[in-house]
Chain A
Amino acid sequence: MERNRSLALHGGALLILFLLQFVLPPYHYTNFTRIMVLAVYGIGYNILIGYTGLLSLGHAMFLASGMYAAGLAVHYIGVDPVSAFVLGSVAALAFATAVGLVALRTTGVSFMIVTMMFSQACYLLILYFNEVTRGDEGIAISEAARQIAGFSLTNPILRYNLALALFAGALILCYALIRSRVGRVLIAIRENEERVKMLGYHTFRYKLLALALSGLLSGAAGASYALMFGYVGATFAAIEYSIFALLWVLLGGAGTVLGPIIGALLMFYLVEWTSDVTESYRIVVGAALVLLTLFFPKGILGTLREKRLRWLP
């Protein structure tokens, strides 16, 4: 019963996102495209913080590694977008695994600091290799380089549906993961790592797997952003983008499958609506976030799950 409800909810969410493309006005159409891509980054982050209990403050490095691997390959070598997407995702997967081998030797606050330092080093490397990356200015990828089988990635319909496919893939992966035995071990690690160890599990390997998957999804989002929107820049490797992922997940509900997209949507439209009303919109957004934290301490879906929807994954 609960499983059916849960499947209906997540399938329904994907169906709504599919149907929305027929009614959304152009501006929101592109925004939803962008939000779905960035929500994949949020889903990746959520696997780590929400389900495994590891708080990274440097996740932008994985977003950026996918973005740069894909973007630079297209810009300099003329790799086709599909191969570039695969390259970006795999690069982020490899990078996350390498970072994990070092960073996961720490826990708690130390893990936060180590991931933040790795990320900062990554950001500075992008600036340092300016000859290739164009540093803080970044690179605009030409429209001609963003074609798949003769179809331009600037086509809004194609772009929306590709973003939706990517988001659906990430959502299904996350859903399947947490329903799986591996997912239950990850949740158990979040709840009490020592007990999991005592039960005979090699928790380091599970945490590494979570970080690698998280990096893969973040990199896939970064690669998609570069290819769909034609820009690669160091800003996406900066600390702000690590914080954004944290905010989306916490707002939507850490440890809920749909939380990241709810959080990303909410953050975007909070800025959007408040900036239409006042020039000091950042104060209003800040106040709104404080209120949300007060009334939804576990995020929107997290609080709903706690109070009513116990079956929510």
Chain B
Amino acid sequence: MTRSKTPKPDKRNGSISRRAALKGLGAVAGGTAALGLAPGFVRYIQVSAAEPIKIGFQAHRTGIGAAYGRWYERTTNAAVKLINEAGGIAGRPIELITEDDGTDPKRGAEVVEKFASQHQVDITFGTLFSHVVMGSAPRAGELKMPYYVVSEGHHVASGALNRYTFQPGITDVKAQVSSMAPWVAKNLGKKVTMIFPDYAFGYDHRDYFSAAIEKQGGEVVKLLPIPATETSYTKYFPQIPSDTEVLYHVMVGPGVLTFVKEMGEFYGSNRPQIFGFIDSLEAVDMASPGLEFLDGTYFWEAYPRYAQANQSGADKFYRAAVGVDANGASLEDAKDVSTYSHMFGCWETLYIIKEAVEASGYQSATDADKKKLIEATEAMSGWKEGNEHPQGDKTFSGQLHQCFGHQFISKVAGGKLEVVHRTEIADGTYEPETDYTKMAL
């Protein structure tokens, strides 16, 4: 567990009488007014003397999510620093309390419990891996703990969770996948073979992309689920039908490099169009040996890893604050590649929390104030692109507790990713599957 340093009230001398406090404050106000410093100084007093707003950050420091977790933590720390420097949330500094959940659903629930009961945080946020969200969210609901996840799973919008769980800072996989289909059908081909991991994450791709490509007049000619334990993929490539126009791949885990290498050996220079999800290569250097075969292929990105020629001011600001260079790697170590298409969600979610707390008039972790916070979050409709939302503007559905945003399609060229298309928000929107606002608080 780590706790960021924030000013705390001095309790060493026990209670202070009201008279003494008034005297002291009067003297300070008089002195500062005389010096003509009152506005700025009074603001400083309000922020530093205010009780911090405690945010519990559920981090994947260990376990299979550690590579993502490391960058989630850096992004979160950068956003918290900026928010605190700018006066905090409603004049209160953020006290960030980080606990490792080991990327384990049981420990995840324990961490939520610890945040609520031991650290007495106001809000919990930051969970990424779907199974940890699924394991933790029921406990968050029981504890009436506002729980803002950054997971990209469809579990929130599907209605599987509860009224206290939100995903406002990152789009879900259903929206991502659906919005790719029109461009793929128009530019790459309509006969698609899908290679995907043989578990829930892969099935979301299978189901949502299959439906979306059919809407475009295309078809999935072959589904190739790959077991999680697979280490060699050569036996799968001959199963790809010869009339395949587009090979859609979304592989995750340490086998990715082997997968790409073996795909290159199988196809050589005579390959179909290839479209993948960057999840396969988050935290992996695109210039890694063995990835040369990907040159000329396409990837979905939630947020372009490589700074583009038309880079926005917000992206420059965000990269500098988090410590990411133009290639999406750490400023301190060019080989430490970020999870750029996911971690922005932490940054944006923190600003959304700030907005929701300020709009709701939330003061403390009482049921009444939490209710106000939940309702204020549900009342939001979206956010404009800017320093607080560098990935782009978004809409938000209070019914679904889920945001919708732009997606990017990038082409691999010279070991880098160049954006060739940015989708419209409408491309990824879908009919609501639930309405959380009807659930009791």
Contact with B along A124-143 (1 / 0, CB 8 A): 10011011001111111111
> Quick check: A233 and B117 within 8 Å, CB to CB?
no
Q: Contacts A231-B109, A233-B131; is A136 near B199 (CB within 8 Å)?
A: yes
Q: Closest chain B residue to A281 by CB distance?
A: B100
A239 to B62, CA, bound (A): 17
A97 to B118, CA, bound (A): 43
Q: Contacts A124-B227, A137-B155, A279-B100; is A130 near B131 (CB within 8 Å)?
A: no
Contact with B along A201-236 (1 / 0, CB 8 A): 000000000000000000000000000011101111
| Residue B1, interface by CB 8 Å | yes
| Residue B296, interface by CB 8 Å | no
> Quick check: A235 and B131 within 8 Å, CB to CB?
yes
Q: Contacts A137-B153, A234-B131; is A127 near B198 (CB within 8 Å)?
A: yes
- B76: shortest Cβ distance to chain A, in Å? 15
| Residue B60, interface by CB 8 Å | no
Q: How large is the interface on B (under 10, 10 to 19, 20 to 34, 35 or more residues)?
A: 35 or more
Q: Which single member of A25, A34, A142 contacts B110 (CB below 8 Å)?
A: A34
Contact with A along B224-235 (1 / 0, CB 8 A): 000111000000
A58 to B361, CA, bound (A): 52
> Quick check: A231 and B135 within 8 Å, CB to CB?
yes
> Quick check: A136 and B131 within 8 Å, CB to CB?
yes
> Quick check: A130 and B203 within 8 Å, CB to CB?
yes
Point out the residues of chain A lying under 8 angstroms from B100, CB to CB.
Answer: 275, 279, 281
| Residue A27, interface by CB 8 Å | yes
> Quick check: B200 and A134 within 8 Å, CB to CB?
yes
| Residue B201, interface by CB 8 Å | yes
Q: Which of B26-34, B85-93, B138-146 contacts A (4 or more CB under 8 A)?
A: B138-146
Point out the residues of chain B lying under 8 angstroms from A154, CB to CB.
Answer: 142
> Quick check: A229 and B109 within 8 Å, CB to CB?
yes
A234 to B134, CA, bound (A): 11
Q: Contacts A229-B109, A231-B105, A275-B1; is A127 near B134 (CB within 8 Å)?
A: no
A61 to B321, CA, bound (A): 47
Q: Which single member of A139, A143, A279 contacts B2 (CB below 8 Å)?
A: A279
Point out the residues of chain B lying under 8 angstroms from A27, CB to CB.
Answer: 113-114, 116-118
- B323: shortest Cβ distance to chain A, in Å? 19
Point out the residues of chain A lying under 8 angstroms from B201, CB to CB.
Answer: 136-137
Q: Closest chain B residue to A156 by CB distance?
A: B142
- A135: shortest Cβ distance to chain B, in Å? 4
The number of A-B residue pairs with CB atoms under 8 Å apart is 100
| Residue B177, interface by CB 8 Å | no
| Residue B99, interface by CB 8 Å | yes
| Residue A31, interface by CB 8 Å | yes
A27 to B120, CA, bound (A): 10
A32 to B118, CA, bound (A): 14
- A274: shortest Cβ distance to chain B, in Å? 10
Q: Which single member of B105, B142, B203 contacts A138 (CB below 8 Å)?
A: B105
Tell me whether chain A's interface is mostly helix, strand or loop, or mixed: helix
Point out the residues of chain A lying under 8 angstroms from B155, CB to CB.
Answer: 137, 140
> Quick check: B61 and A136 within 8 Å, CB to CB?
no
> Quick check: A276 and B1 within 8 Å, CB to CB?
yes
Point out the residues of chain B lying under 8 angstroms from A124, CB to CB.
Answer: 227, 229
> Quick check: B62 and A282 within 8 Å, CB to CB?
yes
Q: Contacts A140-B134, A143-B141, A233-B131; is A128 near B198 (CB within 8 Å)?
A: yes
CB within 8 Å of A: which of B126-174? 130-131, 134-135, 137-139, 141-142, 153, 155, 160-162
> Quick check: B118 and A135 within 8 Å, CB to CB?
no
Q: Which single member of B62, B109, B110, B199 contacts A135 (CB below 8 Å)?
A: B199
> Quick check: B135 and A31 within 8 Å, CB to CB?
no
CB within 8 Å of B: which of A6-55? 25-27, 29-31, 34
- A78: shortest Cβ distance to chain B, in Å? 16
Q: Contacts A130-B199, A134-B200, A282-B62; is A140 near B113 (CB within 8 Å)?
A: no
| Residue B106, interface by CB 8 Å | yes
Q: Which single member of A127, A142, A279 contacts B61 (CB below 8 Å)?
A: A279
Point out the residues of chain B lying under 8 angstroms from A271, CB to CB.
Answer: 107
| Residue B104, interface by CB 8 Å | yes
> Quick check: A140 and B200 within 8 Å, CB to CB?
no
Point out the residues of chain A lying under 8 angstroms from B138, CB to CB.
Answer: 140-141, 143, 229-231
> Quick check: A31 and B61 within 8 Å, CB to CB?
no
Point out the residues of chain A lying under 8 angstroms from B229, CB to CB.
Answer: 124
> Quick check: B153 and A140 within 8 Å, CB to CB?
no
- B374: shortest Cβ distance to chain A, in Å? 16
CB within 8 Å of A: which of B285-319? none
Point out the residues of chain A lying under 8 angstroms from B131, CB to CB.
Answer: 136-138, 233-235
Q: Closest chain B residue to A26 by CB distance?
A: B117
Point out the residues of chain A lying under 8 angstroms from B161, CB to CB.
Answer: 140
Point out the residues of chain B lying under 8 angstroms from A128, CB to CB.
Answer: 198
- B160: shortest Cβ distance to chain A, in Å? 6
A31 to B135, CA, bound (A): 15
Q: Closest chain A residue to B161 by CB distance?
A: A140
Q: Which single member of A31, A139, A276 contacts B113 (CB below 8 Å)?
A: A31
Point out the residues of chain B lying under 8 angstroms from A143, CB to CB.
Answer: 138, 141-142, 162
Contact with B along A229-261 (1 / 0, CB 8 A): 111011110000000000000000000000000
> Quick check: A137 and B118 within 8 Å, CB to CB?
no
Most buried by B among A26, A29, A230: A230
Point out the residues of chain B lying under 8 angstroms from A140, CB to CB.
Answer: 134-135, 137-138, 155, 160-162
- 15 sampled A-B residue pairs with Cβ under 8 A: A27-B114, A27-B117, A131-B203, A134-B200, A136-B130, A136-B199, A136-B200, A137-B134, A137-B200, A138-B135, A140-B135, A143-B142, A235-B105, A235-B135, A279-B100
Give me 19 other A-B pairs in contact (C-beta within 8 A), A128-B198, A137-B130, A139-B160 excluded: A27-B114, A27-B118, A30-B113, A30-B117, A31-B113, A124-B227, A127-B227, A135-B200, A135-B203, A138-B105, A138-B135, A140-B155, A140-B161, A154-B142, A230-B142, A276-B1, A279-B2, A279-B100, A281-B100
* Complex A-B, nearest 4 residue pairs according to Cβ-Cβ distance, in ascending order: A230-B138, A27-B117, A135-B200, A26-B117
